[in-house]
A and B are shown apart, each in its own frame.
Chain A
Amino acid sequence: MVANVDALEQVQSLGEQYKYGFVTDIDVDLAPKGLNEDIVRLISEKKGDPEWMLEWRLKAYRHWLTMEEPRWQKVAFAPIDFQDAYYYAAPKLSDKPKSLDEIDPKLLETYEKLGIPLKEQEVLAGVEGAPRVAVDAVFDSVSVATTYKAKLEEIGVIFCSISEAIKDHPELVRKYLGSVVPYADNFYATLNSAVFTDGSFVYIPKGVRCPMELSTYFRINQENTGQFERTLIIADEGAHVSYLEGCTAPMRDEHQLHAAVVELITLDDAEIKYSTVQNWYPGDAEGRGGIFNFVTKRGACRGRNSKISWTQVETGSAITWKYPSCILQGDNSVGEFYSVAITNNAQQADTGTKMIHIGKNTSSRIISKGISTGRADQTYRGLVRMQRGAHGARNYTQCDSLLIGDQCGAHTVPYIECQNPTAQVEHEATTSRIGDDQLFYCRQRGLSNEEAVSLIVNGFCREVLQTLPMEFAVEAQKLVGISLEGSVG
């Protein structure tokens, strides 16, 4: 369901600070600090990996040792000491709880505070009558609960943590894991392949339209840990699924690394809609603390007429660096990327997408809305490649930047590679500022400066916010207002 973006409710919650900054005091099972082959083996053992999984991790780890950290992105940060972090942190549970009643009440309370329903009859905070949402909750390194599993199983939908999938559905995992993002893909994805601890797994069988939104909620709690989750979603022929991802972390003075990998696969006539509302702790106004969000997200439209649609609302993190991409292999397949990125204070973002057109008559659409304020810096970086066989392929890219104040920056870096003369690529880009006349007009109607900015920015992002499922649209609109706090007057 697509929300009618009625950008008002957000106004009520303006004036809130980062409200997810609390820490849950819970016993944790921590692996020793640092990274070496033993740690990889330890993680594998903790997860109860089969042999093939351990081999894959080790292969990735050994390859990672030969790799250099990339430096081409337009973001600046002090070198990360990969030996000064924990690679495994799990709330102490004897075993994954069999039912929701067995979950540590502290965890339940945490998710309640975050507005994430871990009780099956509930819906997301404040949205009455909304369709139900199944949630996989990942707390530091492990999945602590997955709701509606049984209900989904009845129609053949598999929704579980990736650790469970490795044990229970090895044939699917072995077939698809690393098939879109190979273990040697890039520095952070390779690191993830070696040490990933949990994440979500979804399989929608042939012809099934998943009857509810599926979602994963990532929470980093433990200090000095990296979160390396791995998500794998497969939509078999004719299957449809809409998947949401949300994330928050406590406020801490140190940076924390989040290096996730998400792989999506659609077969013939299948469709995956993947929405992210990323609200990791952004750090303070001076740039202390905050999450380094270095993520590899890629989808492969393997089948004919299949479709993958990414929507992201990126408001958090000290540094966001990600390019959710589509490989359009199947003829007539469609890739979409809708993005809102807001950077305030000292936040930096280098984000965009890659659309790789391989099949005939493939089409892609990129709508990117970047908002920069404070001293923040933001880059849209996007690649559109029309390969030799992409007859009749089309791309439309629209890239709009909005600047608030005069100390922030916005950059647009489009890469276009066209090897097929029948392919069409269209690119539009604008940069604008919020006009004094717009602000005055809103204020003359009784809106405070911040309400006015929030309203104008929500309007600027409307095209993207409209693509979010309703459960997230209202939240996202509020978030837009909150993340702009202090950006004016």
Chain B
Amino acid sequence: MALLEIRNLHATVDNKPILNGVDLILDAGEVHAIMGPNGSGKSTLSYVLAGRDGYDVTDGEVLYDGRDLLAMEADERAREGVFLAFQYPVEIPGVAGLTFLKTAANALRRHRGEGELDAMDFLKFVRDKADSLDINADMLKRAVNEGFSGGEKKRMEILQMAVLEPRLAILDETDSGLDIDALKVVADGVNALRGPERGMLLITHYQRMLDYIVPDRVHVLAHGRIVKSGDKSLALELEAKGYGEYLDAAE
């Protein structure tokens, strides 16, 4: 059984059709890249999968481990192992990063019937993961994403992913706004989380990140539909030719 199976997914925002029949199958252990021009519906797809309010599914279905993903509330999906690294991570003033991480980790642990971690145990659990992402204790004390640089925000997203250990991770333009050093740190973090149980959707506009995180498949999303799929070479082809062809083809 596939980890994620998207069939003929249609979705609207404010009654405006954005997704127009997305089909995609992701197996556990695989990493798929979704590429596409700006405004093609990449973020919309990630929000629909994560269950954001205001994104209305008008047709199609999504199976997660064979279960109806769309029937679950957003927080339930998260507790069941669906993780979204946001294109624009949100600030939560006054809530320390460590507190936020621990609250989330314990919500998941409770759900899995595991005991909650206290502050000391949790700090031990987080420290190594944070170190490898160049996140120091100071940054964990600061309020979530408040005053963070673009790179800090993205590293914090990956740290959350490392802590929450999802089965399905959707990374929405995690590479955008990163310089090459930061990109490497993030890519190493993501690669470290690849595993036979986990599937990932890497949403990106540029193929640059795919040099570091090599995908099993590449899909092109245009006008709310997957218009072409292929292997890694498709990304290089897109890089060379640009998206012009798909903009026209999908009209």
| Chain A contact residues, CB within 8 Å of chain B | 6-8, 11-12, 435-438, 440-449, 451-452, 455-456, 458-463
Contacts and interface: CB of A to CB of B under 8 A. Distances in A.
B75 interface: yes
Contact of B90 (A6, A435, A460): A435
A237 B245 CA distance: 83
B95 A446 contact: no
A444 B106 contact: no
B107 A445 contact: yes
Please provide the 7 A-B residue pairs with the shortest distance between their CB atoms, ordered closest to farther: A459-B94, A459-B95, A462-B94, A445-B104, A441-B90, A446-B107, A446-B78
Contacts of A444: 50-51, 74-75, 78, 83-84, 86
A197 B37 CA distance: 75
A6 B79 contact: no
A441 B89 contact: yes
A440 B103 contact: no
A10 to B, nearest CB: 9
A449 B95 contact: no
A438 to B, nearest CB: 5
Interface string B144-182: 000000000000000010001000000000000000000
B74 A440 contact: yes
A7 B101 CA distance: 11
Contacts of A443: 51, 73-75, 78
Interface string B74-98: 1100110001101001111111101
A8 B164 CA distance: 16
Residue picked from A11, A442, A456, most chain B C-beta under 10 Å: A442
Contacts of B78: 443-446
10 contacts: A11-B107, A441-B86, A443-B74, A445-B100, A446-B108, A447-B103, A455-B92, A455-B100, A456-B92, A456-B95
B100 A446 contact: no
Contacts of B95: 7, 455-456, 458-459, 462
B164 A445 contact: yes
Residue picked from A441, A448, A452, A456, most chain B C-beta under 10 Å: A441
Interface of B: 50-54, 73-75, 78-79, 83-84, 86, 89-96, 98-100, 102-104, 106-108, 111, 116, 119, 143, 160, 164
Given A8-B106, A11-B107, A438-B92, A446 B99 contact: no
A455 B119 CA distance: 16
A311 to B, nearest CB: 16
Residue picked from B50, B52, B83, most chain A C-beta under 10 Å: B52
A266 B26 CA distance: 70
Contact of B99 (A8, A448, A460): A8
Contacts of A455: 92, 95, 99-100, 103
A367 to B, nearest CB: 12
Residue picked from A6, A436, A444, most chain B C-beta under 10 Å: A444
B102 A8 contact: yes
Contacts of A12: 116
B70 to A, nearest CB: 15
A455 B107 CA distance: 13
Given A6-B96, A437-B90, A463-B94, A11 B75 contact: no
Given A436-B53, A443-B75, A448-B75, A459 B93 contact: yes
Nearest to B91: A438
A358 B53 CA distance: 54
B134 to A, nearest CB: 21
A458 B95 CA distance: 7
Contacts of B91: 438
Contact of B103 (A438, A441, A451): A451
Nearest to B119: A6
Contacts of B99: 6-8, 455
B90 A438 contact: yes
Contacts of B73: 443
Contacts of B79: 446
B160 to A, nearest CB: 7
A344 to B, nearest CB: 20
Contacts of A451: 103, 107
A449 B93 CA distance: 18
Contacts of A449: 75
Nearest to A459: B94
Residue picked from A8, A436, A437, most chain B C-beta under 10 Å: A8
A435 B145 CA distance: 15
Nearest to A457: B94
B93 to A, nearest CB: 6
A462 B141 CA distance: 13
Contacts of A435: 90
A323 to B, nearest CB: 25
A459 B104 contact: no
A447 B94 contact: no
Nearest to A445: B104
Contacts of A436: 53-54
Contacts of B143: 459
Contacts of B53: 436, 440
Residue picked from A11, A445, A456, most chain B C-beta under 10 Å: A445
B93 A446 contact: no
Contacts of B164: 445-446
A8 B103 contact: yes
Contacts of A445: 78, 100, 103-104, 107, 160, 164
B104 A446 contact: yes
